[in-house]
Amino acid sequence: MSAAQEEMACQVCLAPLNTLGIPPTYVHPAHLATDGHDPDPVPVSRLDTVRRSCDFCGDPYPTWTLHGGEVTALAVGPTAGLIQNFGHAWAACATCHTHIDDGRHDKLADHAARTLGLSDHPQARQRVEELHRAFLDAQLPGRTLITTTAWPATTITAAEVPKVRDRLTRFYRGNGQLPAALGITKTRAEIATGLDRSHLYWIDNDFTELADHAVAQLPDTPISRDALPSTDGLLIWARPLTPRQLAAASWTATNNGLHLVLYRTIGAGLEPRPLQRLREQVGWLAPMSTTRLGEQETIGNGHPSAALVATWLLITQKAAEVATARPDRAVARAYARMNRPTPEVRIVRIRGRHLPSAQGPSTSGDPQGSQTRRFWVSGHWRNQAHGPGRSLRRPVYIHPFLKGPDDAPIALSTTVRMLSAGHPELKDRE
């Protein structure tokens, strides 16, 4: 692929596409198993997840883009030759990048041969090493973090949040590049400064479940500063939110509003040495997307930042209670050595509450008009008046509750997703 061409991926299977011949034709990589669909090209910059693999060994979790020599291979068959352009930008997994960083091209070829099942074929291994060298002999300085890899989830505990924040801040201030399509290149210092002064939030599993349920129903909501739990912040959910596997978010106050960055976790499943190198170079989080919000800009449930907005609203209403977590001892000692105050991590939980039981008029769930049964009312958002003269409106999430006489049996016809009050856990009630 020439430098002028934007990389393309298939929007059906999310695989990056190779080019064949002149003029180029987009094709799926030869090693990729598909259901037989034709490539449906779309610019990679329009996707936040791409089914990419390491161009050195085929690993499904590439970490860095490296730039080197333009590599073209010619395969000669009985009737014709096939030209395949591998391009000048190659994806490298954490293991391959470690070997490249260490200058061990022999270990790189050995690792690739093992991963590709070519260890017992010396000539094939030699061809692989020749392709590697054609690229690496002209390698340019620098590396760009691949932010579109769909890594398995990494668990981050509340005690680890300060360390995660500091490593992310260091990456923003370092030399590792980010894809231009993210729109962060010129604002990295601004984001890092916002992270330095940010309040830290860890959302426990039950509150994460609540947010995941509430975001699907989020009404169009104008965002103002009083909707935020703090001016700047880093928020990490106990598990990634579906369907984008969103793991964390940060926000930075600017003169023009808010700068939001959404993150996924990276590094799960790596061997100890490449994992340690990745943690040192990047940390635990990789940016997925970024957006800027102006004062009173309206956000609905289809917006990329809707999950963060729903979590903000839940925190700032009575659904949340906040406790403080102790950072782990190593983090506390590190802060003491640098004469920095130990940061607080705010653990956000569901506030213990009595689920209301309300008697009211009959509904379609009780066609005979009797009040002899109770039924579950699903969780939903309701606009609440606030501000000067109560002239403004903001969404408040209403938990699932039982409606009907306190001593009546519960109707068996209604299924509702419910978060309990005493020991919150997601349940199906029928």
For 173-184, the pLDDT digits (tens) are 999 999 988 889
Cα distance from N-terminal residue to C-terminal residue, the chain: 57
| Whether residues 40 and 122 fall in one domain | yes
- CA-nearest of 416, 422, 420, 427 to 380 is 416
Report the SS3 class of residue 221: strand
Tell me if 421 is assigned to some domain: yes
| Whether residues 193 and 276 fall in one domain | yes
| Whether residues 210 and 228 fall in one domain | yes
| Whether residues 194 and 64 fall in one domain | no
| Whether residues 17 and 100 fall in one domain | yes
- 125 vs 393 pLDDT, higher one: 125
The pLDDT > 70 percentage for the chain reads 79
How large is the average pLDDT for residues 52-59? Answer: 91
Q: What is the pLDDT of residue 374?
A: 56
| Whether residues 203 and 99 fall in one domain | no
Domain tally for the chain? 3
| Whether residues 296 and 391 fall in one domain | no
Write down the mean pLDDT value for the chain.
Answer: 81
Return all residues near 333 (Cβ < 8 A) that are at least 6 apart: none
Classify the C-alpha dihedral 221-227-230-231 as positive or negative: positive
**Residue keyed to tokens 């000539």:** 123
Return all residues near 260 (Cβ < 8 A) that are at least 6 apart: 249, 250, 251, 290, 291, 292, 293, 305, 308
Q: Which of these three, 89, 112, 145, is where a domain ends?
A: 145
| Whether residues 206 and 98 fall in one domain | no
Range of the domain at 210: 158-350
For the cut 90, the answer to whether the pLDDT of residue 243 exceeds it is no
Q: Kindly indicate the confidence band of residue 147, based on its pLDDT and cuts at 50, 70 and 90.
A: very high
Tell me if 166 is assigned to some domain: yes
Q: Which of these three, 350, 380, 412, is where a domain ends?
A: 350
* C-alpha distances out from residue 166 to 155, 173, 195, 200, 415, Å: 17, 11, 8, 11, 44
Tell me if 151 is assigned to some domain: no
| Whether residues 167 and 141 fall in one domain | no
Tell me if 152 is assigned to some domain: no
pLDDT in tens, 326-357: 777 888 888 889 888 888 999 998 875 433 33
Rounded Cα distance between 427 and 424, Å, is 9
| Whether residues 235 and 108 fall in one domain | no
How large is the average pLDDT for residues 296-323? Answer: 88
